[in-house]
């Protein structure tokens, strides 16, 4: 072991379990009350505690590091976030966290439509573990915590499988949702907007084991990204079907709109029939095409001329209980532009808001009964190289202030039918709702004894 400049001690080992289980065991170990687990491709990361913390709300942007710094609201919140990250004096820092959907209302400086809620929360972790290719890279601000994390990863264990307790996702808010779809179709036919995504909430009445739910749900899904977090008073786990934006250190930026949905039933013949229907349905094709156009338009704002293109168009991606039309739009950031400029341009994802976005925001605020918070926001990582990976928060379960819930929406255009859009929300909710693990059940790596600690 050796000490890196600015606090970190580092080491490596080969974990006794697969990467997903190893990251989940760290989350359930009790090493840190706040943590983020993030899966990106073949890499699982665990970020526990905070050496530096950045939060954003309507009062301004706050950094807690070696001392506390508050930048009062000046109308450029994401530029303030970037400035405070630039001030973090931790070698090779990497930040993890989340952005609420309501950040979209305020990212250009307008605070009329936000309350007192937190809009963004990032941490540069006290302890970080990245697991890929059978090896774990660990670093921590103190040797004692580093040793404790090593013990968690090295311990042999037997993992009993949890038994999920599915919830009924069909009834909650169904009538109100049908009515809302009708309202949206009227507004679209009246040319007040082209597309909007309305969501509905399904309460979960029993206590959940979020770690056990993450493990069960990840085994049953095929996400673009997955995450498990307890940060800033919010607990969530999810299996995201798409990224909001990805920025490479060299400035290459990618967005990945998914729009257009059919179920995955497990019956190959039926799934093939639904796939063919998806690829030829005028409503689904139109919904997808306008989403891709908006993604291109947004990247044009921050990318160099003649670099924005559609790298992949309207292929079918299988994501858990559904299959989607998917495209991939890319470009090269213009001179002087950085990852937060790209994030600002595309957030929130057009596939979770609507077209045009401002009109969609008005419609969402008028027709949904509560703020979205983390739902349809982003979980993200950003680091000292300029790289960013932000995933869209869908197919997730949430817990905050003693309340637990699921949430899902559907894209509404002029050809939409209320019953079909309601059914689409059910199809999406199934990606999570059938994998909910009750807290009272044996949950394998989520059990206290498995990781030598208590759950935070």
Q: Which pLDDT score, from 0 to 100, does residue 66 have?
A: 83
- How far is 192 from 98, CA to CA, in rounded Å? 31
Q: Report phi then psi at 331, rounded to 5.
A: -170, 180
Q: Which pLDDT score, from 0 to 100, does residue 159 have?
A: 67
Residue tagged 């790209």 (tokens): 342
Q: Assess contact for 312 and 326: CB atoms under 8 A.
A: yes
Cis peptide before 356 (omega within 30 of 0): yes
Q: Which pLDDT score, from 0 to 100, does residue 440 have?
A: 66
Q: Assess contact for 374 and 229: CB atoms under 8 A.
A: no
- How far is 40 from 297, CA to CA, in rounded Å? 26
Q: Assess contact for 248 and 71: CB atoms under 8 A.
A: no
Task: Report strand pairing: 378-383 vs 388-392.
Answer: antiparallel
Angle subtended at Cα 355 by Cα 388 and Cα 358, rounded to the nearest 5 degrees: 80
Contacts 24+ apart (CB under 8 A), 87-92: 87/63, 88/52, 88/63, 88/124, 89/6, 89/65, 90/6, 90/7, 90/8, 90/51, 90/52, 90/124, 91/4, 91/5, 91/6, 91/8, 92/4, 92/383, 92/384
Q: Which pLDDT score, from 0 to 100, does residue 454 have?
A: 31
- How far is 431 from 27, CA to CA, in rounded Å? 22
> pLDDT tens digits, the chain, 456 residues: what are they?
334 446 799 999 999 999 999 999 999 999 999 999 999 999 999 999 999 999 999 999 999 998 899 999 999 999 999 999 999 999 999 999 999 999 999 999 999 999 999 999 999 999 999 999 999 999 999 999 999 999 999 998 766 678 999 999 999 999 999 999 999 999 999 999 999 999 999 999 999 999 999 999 999 999 999 999 999 999 999 999 999 999 999 999 999 999 999 999 999 999 999 999 999 999 999 999 999 999 999 999 999 999 999 999 999 999 988 999 999 999 999 999 999 999 999 999 999 999 999 999 999 999 999 999 999 999 999 999 999 999 999 999 999 999 999 999 999 999 999 999 999 999 999 999 999 999 964 445 443 333 333 333
Domains of the chain: 174-433 (3.60.120.10)
The catalytic residue positions are 242
Q: Assess contact for 100 and 119: CB atoms under 8 A.
A: yes
> Which residues, other chains included, contact 411 with Cβ-Cβ below 8 Å and sequence gap of 6+?
195, 196, 197, 259, 260, 287, 291, 351, 354
- How far is 214 from 221, CA to CA, in rounded Å? 10
Other beta carbons less than 10 A from residue 416's beta carbon: 21
Q: Which two tokens stand for residue 358?
A: 């401002």
Q: Which pLDDT score, from 0 to 100, does residue 442 have?
A: 47
- In this structure, is the dihedral angle defined by the CA atoms of residues 389, 78, 138 and 385, taken in order, positive or negative? positive
Q: Assess contact for 129 and 149: CB atoms under 8 A.
A: yes
Nearest to 319 by CA among 174, 196, 185, 427: 427
Q: Which pLDDT score, from 0 to 100, does residue 106 have?
A: 97
Q: Which pLDDT score, from 0 to 100, does residue 453 have?
A: 35
> Which residues, other chains included, contact 45 with Cβ-Cβ below 8 Å and sequence gap of 6+?
23, 36, 37, 38, 39, 96, 128, 129, 130, 131, 381
Is 36 buried (19+), middle (13-18) or exposed (0-12) by CB count in 10 A?
Answer: buried
């Amino acid at each position: 072991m050796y000490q890196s400049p600015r606090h970190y001690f580092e080491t490596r080992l080969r974990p006794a379990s697969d990467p997903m289980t190893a990251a989940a065991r760290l989350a359930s170990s009790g090493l840190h009350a706040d943590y983020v687990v993030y899966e990106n491709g073949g890499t699982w990361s665990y970020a526990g505690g905070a050496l530096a913390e950045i939060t954003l709300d309507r009062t301004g942007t706050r950094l807690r590091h070696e001392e506390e710094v508050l930048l009062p609201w000046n109308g450029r919140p994401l530029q303030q976030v970037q400035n405070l990250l630039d001030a973090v004096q931790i070698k090779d820092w990497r930040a993890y966290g989340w952005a609420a959907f309501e950040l979209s209302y305020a990212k250009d400086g307008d605070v009329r439509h936000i309350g007192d809620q937190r809009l963004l929360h990032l941490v540069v972790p006290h302890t970080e573990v990245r697991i890929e290719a059978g090896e774990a890279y660990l670093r921590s601000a103190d040797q004692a915590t580093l040793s404790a994390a090593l013990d968690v990863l090295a311990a042999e264990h037997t993992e009993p499988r949890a038994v999920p307790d599915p919830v009924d996702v069909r009834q909650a808010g169904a009538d109100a949702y049908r009515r809302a779809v009708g309202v949206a179709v009227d507004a679209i036919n009246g040319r007040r907007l082209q597309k909007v995504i309305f969501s509905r909430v399904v309460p979960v009445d029993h206590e959940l084991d979020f770690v056990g739910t993450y493990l069960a749900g990840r085994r049953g899904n095929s996400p673009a990204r997955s995450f498990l977090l307890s940060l800033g008073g919010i607990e969530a786990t999810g299996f995201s079907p798409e990224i909001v934006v990805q920025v490479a250190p060299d400035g290459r930026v990618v967005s990945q709109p998914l729009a257009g949905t059919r179920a995955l039933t497990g019956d190959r013949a039926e799934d093939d029939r639904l796939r063919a229907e998806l690829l030829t349905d005028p409503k689904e094709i139109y919904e997808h095409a306008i989403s891709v156009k908006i993604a291109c338009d947004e990247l044009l704002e921050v990318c160099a001329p003649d670099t924005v293109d559609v790298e992949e168009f309207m292929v079918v991606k299988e994501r858990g209980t559904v299959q989607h039309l998917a495209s991939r739009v890319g470009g090269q950031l213009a001179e002087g532009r950085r990852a937060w400029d790209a994030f600002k341009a595309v957030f929130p994802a057009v596939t979770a808001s609507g077209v045009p976005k401002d009109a969609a925001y008005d419609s969402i605020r008028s027709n949904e009964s509560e703020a979205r918070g983390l739902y349809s926001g982003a979980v993200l990582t950003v680091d000292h190289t300029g790289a960013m990976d932000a995933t869209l928060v869908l197919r997730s379960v949430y817990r905050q202030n003693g309340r637990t819930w699921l949430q899902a929406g559907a894209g509404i255009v002029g050809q939409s039918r209320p019953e079909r859009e309601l059914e689409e929300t059910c199809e999406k909710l199934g990606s999570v709702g059938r994998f909910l693990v009750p807290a009272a059940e044996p949950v394998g790596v989520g059990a206290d004894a498995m990781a030598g600690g208590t759950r935070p």
